[in-house]
Amino acid sequence: MTATAYPALEPARKKILAAFLKTAEIRFKSLELLNLSFMHRSVSNESGNKANNERLEFLGDAILGAVTVTLLYQILSDKPEGELARIKSIVVSEDVLSGVALELQIDNLLILGRGEELSGGRTKKAILADALEALIGAIYIDSGYKNAFAFVSRFMSSEIDRVLENRHTQDYKSLLQEFCQRQFKKYPSYNLLKRTGPEHARIFWVEVSANGETFGPASGRNKKSAEREAAKLAYEALRSKA
């Protein structure tokens, strides 16, 4: 697809994309190409327009993998191939990539079909992770491998460190508390609703309240894990609206 073949942009959309680039500290020659990286296939499915981010995602996935294994090879010179592969599988996982996408506020930039929008597509991990990979592909096309490497390194280096320090499981209770304190000046509160199942296989059900909204219930094998799951629901929902 040539630069002139990318879907045209309205002035308002250009302003939104320019603001994103400033916040994310990225440069782009083609805002149309950047915009394409956020265009989910549900748009083309509903409109009949073939333009979507799937080809960019395919390219970005390869670039992401190349950058990640290069960083691992350089940082962990004493680790065998199997250990490098294990760490790579964690840091390029859907959970990690969708978290990075949320930090970049890509959820606010997604272009979704009506059906996907109504079904909560902006909070779906797969869509967020795919859009991040598409953005990486777009950076590569727009300004080359060096800039794509620099962009991926910015977030991937810290994710590798998290795995090495065994911090890669997101602490959603801490994330939610920090978010609520920052946004609402209040702390979330948890409520144990019930316990189900026999003593040896007890399931705990918890909901969490934040800023007047209640999220859950979520379940877990113990109260702490149920609270974590409820916090995850609340954090992702509140973060998507911020």
Please say if 61 is a catalytic residue. Answer: yes
Q: For the chain, how many helices (H) and strands (E)?
A: 11, 3
Catalytic residue among 130, 133, 227, 229: 133
Answer whether 22's CB lies under 8 Å from 90's CB. Answer: no
48: left (phi over 0), alpha (psi -120 to 50) or beta: left
Laid out side by side, the sheet with 203-210 consists of 189-196, 203-210, 213-220
SS3 192: strand
Q: Of 239, 193, 196, 185, which Cα lies nearest the Cα of 216? A: 193
Catalytic residue among 32, 61, 116, 229: 61
Q: For residue 70, give both structure tokens.
A: 């290069």
Answer whether 100's CB lies under 8 Å from 132's CB. Answer: yes
Please say if 161 is a catalytic residue. Answer: no
In degrees, rounded to 5, the angle at the alpha carbon of residue 28 between the alpha carbons of residues 130 and 136 is 25
Answer whether 162's CB lies under 8 Å from 221's CB. Answer: no
Q: b/e string for 175-208 if b means 16 or more Cβ within 10 A?
A: bbbebbeeeeeeebebeeeeeeeeeeeeebbbbb
- Catalytically active residues are 61, 133
